[in-house]
Amino acid sequence: ATEPYPVDPTLRARVLRARGRARLLRGRLDDALLDYRRAREHVSTGPLGAALTADIGVVHHQQRALDEAMDLYESALAGLAGSEALRLQARIMGNIGAVRHDRGQYDEAITHYRRALGLFAEVGDRRLEGIFWPIWGWWSSNSIGGKTLGFT
pLDDT tens figures, 62-85: 999 999 999 999 999 999 988 889
Query: Binning pLDDT at 50, 70 and 90, where does residue 2 land?
Result: low
Average pLDDT, the chain: 85
Measured between alpha carbons, how far is 129 from 91 in angstroms, rounded to an integer?
Answer: 9
Query: Binning pLDDT at 50, 70 and 90, where does residue 112 land?
Result: very high
Q: What is the pLDDT of residues 84-95, one digit of tens each?
A: 899 999 999 999
Enter the pTM of the model: 0.81
Q: Under 8 Å CB-to-CB from 118, ≥6 apart: which residues?
A: 90
End-to-end Cα distance, the chain: 61
Angle of the 46-62 helix axis to the 29-42 helix axis, nearest 10: 160
Helix (H) or strand (E) holding 147: strand 147-148
Measured between alpha carbons, how far is 34 from 7 in angstroms, rounded to an integer?
Answer: 20
